[in-house]
Structure 1
């Protein structure tokens, strides 16, 4: 052990923690090496408070099992928005608030699970053990933060903290069906969870994350005392954790071992009560972006319009009231109004032909309100709304009031291996590996040569074969078992023969990683480039479309007129999310919506504005990817290129030992890396341009700085589609 490193580590701890660790060594609870790991963890914990993660984003390539195959995804942990994102080719597929993360569990090799409240857990696979450790560490910080918040909510006035209720050293049995190996862990019990940190493992950094973070308060954790006097186990839905007091303590101080075991059992039983967890959120809290709009059934008494005070001021401003569903049925009908995205069973009859302008009646009735999303005052001045003059847009207020006046009657709103042959490998892993080998038409002795062929068309491994082999890489324990085997290799089962050959190949994991990365990088760059260009063009078109701004002015004028007649405050600007609400506000005729009214007004006064979609051709179809997702993809590609360069340096042998096949392999690899560096540099520049242009778009329309382009562009794309549909219905 490096004495200087040891002294530096312990010098950063206070006297109390140093004495605690030294007493553990004295009582033979931990070795000197284990004490160093424990001290390093204490130092790291003190230097890494939760606040350091705030505002950070972490992107990882992961694989998710779906439709009988492992699909590549980007897992983003965003500590700024406190959200987990599932990204595929730049598109955000799912998003989960941190508050819904209930636990995470380490599984065999590179696999792990994220347990959510109110939905099925995510079974994922990292691309490397290092990535897996980082992900589990970050998730453990999320879980600790959730536990602190639950404690504060249950005890008002208590400061937010992640205090350790109880901690100590325990032995954890390795989670395989054949192993009886015990690993020493630091166990920390916090409010609602038990975290296990392995100590003394070779190559593990002091920042190593918890081997497992077990949620205790969910009501699905079992606790049992095993036959041994100092052994007990925790059971979750899918895992069993067997723990024991260290044998050195049992042999030297049996009374203390029994007391420690009883103490752990008592504390765990108290914290495993089903009622100690915070109420679970419903599955709807994990909805994907495409589930944003739903049909609502709202009681009649909640839909009455607000009556203005005699002085003319409204009882409640639109800023202080959440947007209400705007779908309304015609008089005497109770059928719900469906949003456009849900479709209709039949084509509605066309609205009446364009009316002639008329003068407003002096005794106009109150109208329905348009519950739009208002732009905050601090964003008006720098946005297009600051120079917007809705007064210059003529509207036929008579027609508008006629269609959207309040009706007299209230209505409901709608809303396998051979069993005869012994196998050295873990039985569960061997079973799955054997299934793969049935379709793997390569002999064990041919595997090493295949690793020096970069492209599949030149005789190399397929992408699926590389991915599968990475999944079944031998562990250090597997390597020790096979390399110590003294019998004939030909007598082994085919699973063991392949494992034996894989154990003999140096840096096998790095070689497989290199092959996969060198193939995936150019394909990923080709996939992302057109998506980034599409986002760039979409932002440019929004910046230079005067007709679209004029259409927004018409909407502002119409919405303010309706809201003023409804006794609500007028607005200086509205958020583009309000575009999706135009088809939901229905007039006196059920087939006539505020969107139809907009088309009428434009065709009556400025028909040339109806061609505004010609200035926004990039929105003809819903953009395929988001700025946030694409930025995460480019960030991951940069890391992949760095890892590729490191892998090449690691596996490259000395010049005197290079064979002609290896020499050709490394020369081709060097040329490809240089090409990828140039391509990725160009892609990064375009990505920065995309982010800058989109940021300007958000400022122009007064939108929040953290709004993702997938939402904004989706609103505009849907609006264009619905606007064209309304045009065909308004003009016979």
Structure 2
């Protein structure tokens, strides 16, 4: 064992933890190497707690298996919005609320799966074991909060810690192609999971991350049972069967002691499996429902409004009103006064209409002779955001509108409204059989001899004779585990006697920092291309924000919308508002006039052409919204954050593999010089990109303030609303002014 490495590890622990581990060595519960692994586990746990619990949004570069290939993505776990995002080149492809996460399955090497309620699992691969450990750590906190209704974050927005219920040393049976062996683990029981830290390996692979596995108990389908004898018990999950054994130690050297520990483990695991099973049962009303988009005017009128409107309707005719039917799902617009009971679907007939309460009429100051109009149900800007936004200085009163034209199109017709519900090779292979089979398939197309592999790792670019991106990616997937390294390093025969799979694995075990070297090469290839892809997308968002910030004509159009909407709502017996959210722009084409082809958007175009035709050219000031990209500020920021991490990994890897002696091989020295030059270039390029990203975020934040929008609103939605409005406005212009 490296004494320096041991001292560095133990120096990071407090005295209590050091004493605990030393006592385990004294009692012969663990070996010296096992003690080092325990210490490493504690260091990693503290590092995770410090690094991960001081933030609330985490970005990881991952690979997702789709269409028979692995595609690079950004996995963002956001504890602010309690959402997991799948991002590709700044585009949010998918988003899942924390409540949809059912379990997380830790599989071999860098792979893991996220299990969701009601949808297909996500099979993912982390770029490193360190990232995989962090991702699973965060997902376990998400699952924890889902199962036991505990808050997923503290008051500061950080994910909550998960307490250890029980822990101890257990042997886990592991079967290989050639033998069955027991490997020692430190096992910790938490609510919803068992965490296993491997401490029984020889530890000859100095680059290996301490092996960590998790057995998920949250699926509700886990069983635990005692096996033959007083020392063993098994845990059966959907995919695996784990056989554990209570180890004999100085402290537990009698059968009754071992049996007592066995009972304790089995009872505790059974208890928490049952808790998880109970928690996973569907709760009444927990399933959300979605519906297809309906016409704007399909809304449920609150009961009091139904009565009120019925006072002024001629209920003798019903045919013409069918196009004005209502859906029972739309909520009253934000900012309206709640007058009475919840909205109910009713079928109003003349005999059923009750007399109107006098107080209701006085509240609106309306008389039966008043011509009522349809209301525009817009999304209202909260009062606390008005002052700092454009709405604070907005002057809709200076925008002239033709009131008679509006009333003619949008007054409620003298017809009744009917409201209601709508419906292999024979040669012996040392490697695990499944892994060996897949690795052998890859090697058939890999035109590199085992002895040439190390030299290839010193060539950065493919065109200079280096490995291809696909070859690097494949080799990373078949990296030898610490257990593989122990097995191959104990081999004493001639490599030529081995199968080609074993020859490659043996050679890979000999290469120091192999995983870091492969990660380094792949990142060096991908980083410049990623920066080139992101730069125009970030620039587009910057220009779009600048145009939106400076466009006076767009503000003028918004003032017309505000004036028209307030006029209609006043005639409909509703209050005026000072500002509306930009999402309301998408509702303009959905409110129809007496002519089914004439909408409120057409009315807006008419009023603008009648009074201020120059405002109709507002889109000339917003050219970046002609074909707005799907990339968002949130997604692009996550991409840049991951690129910074990748560059930092390159710098750390360079320090790790830098020659320790002056007499380095020429090829190695050349590689280090090229690497140094590339790092300097990438640092400059990424610094510029990062500055542009910060500018983009600041400008977009100003836009949200200007229009009174919430700060967590993603640009994909906001810019999409504006882009759609511009497109629909032009269509309406062509129809109104052919």
Q: What is the TM-score when the length of structure 2 is the normalising length?
A: 0.81
User: CA shift at 1:34, angstroms?
Assistant: 6.0
Q: In the alignment, is the contact (CA less than 8 A) between 2:295 and 2:590 conserved in 1?
A: no
User: CA shift at 1:567, angstroms?
Assistant: 2.8
Q: In the alignment, is the contact (CA less than 8 A) between 1:625 and 1:710 conserved in 2?
A: yes
Alignment-derived partner of residue 130 in structure 1: 130
User: CA shift at 1:403, angstroms?
Assistant: 3.1
Paired with 1:35 and 1:670, the residues of 2 have a C-alpha distance of 37
Paired with 2:618 and 2:730, the residues of 1 have a C-alpha distance of 10
Aligned match for 2:714, one of 689, 693, 708: 708
Q: Please, which runs of 5 or more residues in structure 2 have no aligned partner?
A: 153-159, 309-330, 339-366
Paired with 1:469 and 1:31, the residues of 2 have a C-alpha distance of 32
Relative distance call for 1:434 and 1:590 in structure 2 (3 A) is farther
User: CA shift at 1:68, angstroms?
Assistant: 0.8
User: CA shift at 1:23, angstroms?
Assistant: 8.3
Relative distance call for 1:671 and 1:550 in structure 2 (3 A) is same
Alignment-derived partner of residue 230 in structure 1: 231
Alignment-derived partner of residue 377 in structure 1: 383
Relative distance call for 1:300 and 1:674 in structure 2 (3 A) is closer
Aligned match for 1:276, one of 252, 275, 278: 278
Relative distance call for 1:568 and 1:247 in structure 2 (3 A) is farther
Paired with 1:228 and 1:401, the residues of 2 have a C-alpha distance of 87
Relative distance call for 1:409 and 1:39 in structure 2 (3 A) is same
CA offsets per residue over residues 106-155 of structure 1, 9 Å max, x none? 21111112222232222111111111112222222333333442599xxx
Q: In the alignment, is the contact (CA less than 8 A) between 1:54 and 1:79 conserved in 2?
A: no
Does residue 1:319 correspond to 2:342, yes or no? no
Aligned partner of residue 86 in structure 1, secondary structure: strand
User: CA shift at 1:277, angstroms?
Assistant: 1.3
Aligned partner of residue 61 in structure 1, secondary structure: strand
Aligned partner of residue 486 in structure 1, secondary structure: coil
Aligned residue runs from structure 1 range 418-457, under 5 A: 418=425, 420-457=426-463
Paired with 1:414 and 1:598, the residues of 2 have a C-alpha distance of 31
Relative distance call for 1:657 and 1:162 in structure 2 (3 A) is closer
User: CA shift at 1:272, angstroms?
Assistant: 2.9
Bigger shift: residues 395-404 or 618-627: 395-404
Bigger shift: residues 300-309 or 603-612: 300-309
Does residue 1:295 correspond to 2:301, yes or no? no
User: CA shift at 1:235, angstroms?
Assistant: 2.8
Q: In the alignment, is the contact (CA less than 8 A) between 2:220 and 2:277 conserved in 1?
A: yes
Q: In the alignment, is the contact (CA less than 8 A) between 1:134 and 1:209 conserved in 2?
A: no
Bigger shift: residues 479-488 or 716-725: 479-488
Aligned partner of residue 211 in structure 1, secondary structure: strand
Q: In the alignment, is the contact (CA less than 8 A) between 1:188 and 1:196 conserved in 2?
A: yes
Paired with 1:32 and 1:485, the residues of 2 have a C-alpha distance of 23
Does residue 1:120 correspond to 2:110, yes or no? no
Q: In the alignment, is the contact (CA less than 8 A) between 1:364 and 1:401 conserved in 2?
A: no
User: CA shift at 1:162, angstroms?
Assistant: 4.9
Aligned match for 2:610, one of 600, 604, 611: 604
Structural RMSD (CA)? 4.2
Alignment-derived partner of residue 58 in structure 1: 58
Paired with 2:19 and 2:665, the residues of 1 have a C-alpha distance of 54
Does residue 1:81 correspond to 2:81, yes or no? yes
Q: In the alignment, is the contact (CA less than 8 A) between 2:232 and 2:245 conserved in 1?
A: yes
Alignment-derived partner of residue 334 in structure 1: none
User: CA shift at 1:41, angstroms?
Assistant: 7.0
Does residue 1:510 correspond to 2:511, yes or no? no
Paired with 1:47 and 1:483, the residues of 2 have a C-alpha distance of 30
User: CA shift at 1:427, angstroms?
Assistant: 0.8
Q: In the alignment, is the contact (CA less than 8 A) between 1:545 and 1:615 conserved in 2?
A: yes
Aligned residue runs from structure 1 range 483-502, under 5 A: 483-502=489-508
Paired with 1:260 and 1:639, the residues of 2 have a C-alpha distance of 44
Relative distance call for 1:233 and 1:497 in structure 2 (3 A) is same
Q: In the alignment, is the contact (CA less than 8 A) between 2:145 and 2:151 conserved in 1?
A: no
User: CA shift at 1:649, angstroms?
Assistant: 2.6
Aligned partner of residue 149 in structure 2, secondary structure: helix
Does residue 1:409 correspond to 2:425, yes or no? no
Alignment-derived partner of residue 559 in structure 2: 553
Aligned partner of residue 643 in structure 1, secondary structure: helix
Paired with 2:489 and 2:46, the residues of 1 have a C-alpha distance of 42
Paired with 1:389 and 1:87, the residues of 2 have a C-alpha distance of 41
Q: In the alignment, is the contact (CA less than 8 A) between 2:217 and 2:272 conserved in 1?
A: no
Q: In the alignment, is the contact (CA less than 8 A) between 1:375 and 1:574 conserved in 2?
A: yes
Alignment-derived partner of residue 157 in structure 2: none
Aligned partner of residue 380 in structure 2, secondary structure: coil
User: CA shift at 1:428, angstroms?
Assistant: 0.9
Q: In the alignment, is the contact (CA less than 8 A) between 1:370 and 1:585 conserved in 2?
A: yes
Aligned partner of residue 261 in structure 2, secondary structure: helix
Relative distance call for 1:151 and 1:316 in structure 2 (3 A) is closer
Relative distance call for 1:560 and 1:7 in structure 2 (3 A) is same
CA offsets per residue over residues 203-243 of structure 1, 9 Å max, x none? 999x9896215133x33323344345432332333333333
Paired with 1:91 and 1:284, the residues of 2 have a C-alpha distance of 30
Bigger shift: residues 269-278 or 702-711: 269-278
Aligned partner of residue 108 in structure 1, secondary structure: coil
Paired with 2:10 and 2:184, the residues of 1 have a C-alpha distance of 20
Relative distance call for 1:653 and 1:41 in structure 2 (3 A) is closer
Aligned partner of residue 473 in structure 2, secondary structure: helix
User: CA shift at 1:386, angstroms?
Assistant: 0.4
Relative distance call for 1:729 and 1:317 in structure 2 (3 A) is closer
Paired with 2:268 and 2:92, the residues of 1 have a C-alpha distance of 41
Aligned match for 2:305, one of 298, 304, 307: 307
Aligned match for 2:678, one of 672, 675, 683: 672
Alignment-derived partner of residue 350 in structure 1: none
Alignment-derived partner of residue 91 in structure 2: 91
Q: In the alignment, is the contact (CA less than 8 A) between 1:137 and 1:208 conserved in 2?
A: no
Paired with 1:651 and 1:478, the residues of 2 have a C-alpha distance of 22
Relative distance call for 1:516 and 1:215 in structure 2 (3 A) is same
Relative distance call for 1:508 and 1:258 in structure 2 (3 A) is same
Relative distance call for 1:114 and 1:402 in structure 2 (3 A) is same
Alignment-derived partner of residue 699 in structure 1: 705
Bigger shift: residues 545-554 or 179-188: 179-188
Q: In the alignment, is the contact (CA less than 8 A) between 2:296 and 2:590 conserved in 1?
A: no
Paired with 1:390 and 1:232, the residues of 2 have a C-alpha distance of 76
Alignment-derived partner of residue 644 in structure 1: 650
User: CA shift at 1:461, angstroms?
Assistant: 1.2
Aligned partner of residue 85 in structure 1, secondary structure: strand
Alignment-derived partner of residue 220 in structure 2: 219
Paired with 2:286 and 2:604, the residues of 1 have a C-alpha distance of 33
Q: In the alignment, is the contact (CA less than 8 A) between 2:457 and 2:467 conserved in 1?
A: yes
Aligned partner of residue 371 in structure 1, secondary structure: coil
User: CA shift at 1:534, angstroms?
Assistant: 0.5
Q: In the alignment, is the contact (CA less than 8 A) between 2:581 and 2:707 conserved in 1?
A: yes
Paired with 1:35 and 1:321, the residues of 2 have a C-alpha distance of 67
Q: What is the TM-score when the length of structure 1 is the normalising length?
A: 0.81
